[in-house]
Amino acid sequence: MADYDYDMLVIGSGPAGQRAAIQAAKINKRVAVVERKTILGGVCINTGTIPSKTLREAVLHLSGYREHSLYGESYTVKQNITMSDLLYRTDHVIQHELDIVRHQLQRNRVELISAEASFIDAHTVRLKHVDQQGWRDVTANAIVIATGTIATKDERIPFDGKRIVISDDILKLNHLPRSLAVIGAGVIGLEYACIYAALGVRVTLIDKRRRLLPFVDEEIIDSLMYHLNQQRAIMRLGEEVKAIEPIKDENNGERVRITLASGKQITTEMALYSIGRTGATQALNIEAVNLEVTERGLLKANENFQTNVPNIYAVGDVIGFPSLASTSMEQGRLAACHAFGVKTNNTPELFPYGIYTIPEISTVGKNEEELTEAGIPYEVGKAQYREIARGQIIGDQTGLLKIIFHLETHEILGVHIIGEGASELIHIGQAVMALKGTVEYFINTVFNYPTLAECYKTAAFDGVNRLGN
């Protein structure tokens, strides 16, 4: 093998980059992580997953949302919630996570380099140092691109970071708006719409699609839409935005006017533009190695996460869907294993998806629409949280757990949950599916009482009863 400076060079320090670097280091490879920002963690820790989920938890606590079914809609932990109240917990968690990431990389002897990376050729990268003048070229046997994404912006829209914002601006706001229009009902848009609606903000959700999040079971999405309606959110689905402009109201206050292609107009205090993400590849000089990209700057990769240049891998959000921290971590690990010939047992069909709306959603396996299209016979079993003692105890009377199983073999094909703890509960179904378990497993298993896990048993009985045996 040629004499390279590193066995693996990882560009980007988000979840995918971290896991790729640590996996390679654990098999005694010389590894370096290049991060162009002065802090580690990428979007996940600094502006995306960790901040938004912590913000959500602060909202649920301070607004008293979880207690409303018990103590009424007027119940709150704190009156007049401010952005400072919400960000207090967020800042603490971010700093803690940053320290953990740095410590993990250091104890695995991964070199950290603060620089902007750009390709010279397939094995050579130029590093422009962030904290000092000059640059240097380094070589690596394998290179992993884990640069993530940036929020997609329309150049015709006058973003100002205060009234017309993207998701990255949320943590910089100094006040809560009374009204908010969310343009784009993808995962990020839906999560923020739910967070603000739970605070009593008047939310309008706009999307040109009528069917949201097609990878999620339609019944689960319909349930989420019902909950948002209960929070007084207005849905403008099947509508396309024609123009967004700042205006003054009759009291000379600052507002945003959104004009839809249908002629409707929406006036709001703030507009959150959330129309997808663009691959953060602009500074990489990918033309030097002729990497294939999509129209949004996302890199194309095969099942082993190799780009069209075999020694260059791409993992995480920069390759697109599902763009989740959990799946990105696994992609990073698998890429490092493939680069150095380490055998793995990968089951992407069992990757769980967690969506932190209010209530949260989690799903694993196939949904009803996918099974119907594939012509696979199935039956469904459902359990409402309100049927379960734990659901009554915690005050969640609207949650739903849904099991889909094969009509003939009874093998579990999918589990779909909306409600408190969905992203934790899903792993029970995931484990049973990984072992090719049947719906009878849940019938014969004893669950702790009272727990939400009992939903699996109730749903299993419901499904078997539908068979009419």
Q: Give the chain's domains with CATH numbers.
A: 6-151+278-346 (3.50.50.60), 164-275 (3.50.50.60), 359-466 (3.30.390.30)
Mean of per-residue pLDDT scores for the chain: 90
With beta carbons less than 8 A apart as the criterion, state whether 16 and 315 touch.
yes
What average pLDDT does this structure show over 281-298? 90
Pairing state of beta strands 164-165 and 149-151? Answer: unpaired
With beta carbons less than 8 A apart as the criterion, state whether 173 and 338 touch.
no
Size (the chain), residues:
469
Share of the chain above pLDDT 70, in %: 96
Q: Distance (Å, rounded) from C-alpha 154 to C-alpha 420?
A: 36
Q: Which range in 30-39, 86-95, 412-421 is most confidently predicted, on average pLDDT?
A: 412-421
Residue 218 belongs to what H/E stretch?
Answer: helix 218-230
- Token digits of residue 265: 């107009």
One-letter identity of residue 76: T
Residue 152, pLDDT > 90, answer no
- Token digits of residue 107: 């104890």
What is the per-residue pLDDT across 329-385, written as a single tens digit (0 to 9) for each? 999 999 999 999 999 987 888 999 999 999 999 999 999 999 999 999 999 999 999
What is the per-residue pLDDT across 85-144, written as a single tens digit (0 to 9) for each? 887 777 777 777 777 888 888 898 999 888 899 999 999 999 998 766 778 999 999 999
Q: Distance (Å, rounded) from C-alpha 115 to C-alpha 105?
A: 17
- CA 446, distance to chain mean position in Å, is 33
* pLDDT confidence of residue 63: 85
Q: Distance (Å, rounded) from C-alpha 274 to C-alpha 271?
A: 9
- Closest residue by Cα to residue 360 from 429, 417, 312: 417
Helices 49-62/83-107 angle, 10° precision: 140
If one compares 317 and 250, the residue with the highest pLDDT of the two is 317
- Token digits of residue 99: 């320290």
What average pLDDT does this structure show over 242-258? 88
List all residues 6 or more positions away from 211 whose beta carbon is below 8 Å from its beta carbon: 218, 221
Q: Distance (Å, rounded) from C-alpha 167 to C-alpha 185?
A: 13
At which residue do the structure tokens 């996570």 appear? 97
Which letter does DSSP use for residue 65 in this model?
A: G
Q: How confident is the model at residue 48 (pLDDT cuts 50, 70, 90)?
A: low
DSSP 94-132: HHHHHHHHHHHHHHTT-EEEEEEEEEEETTEEEEEESSS
Q: Distance (Å, rounded) from C-alpha 230 to C-alpha 224?
A: 10
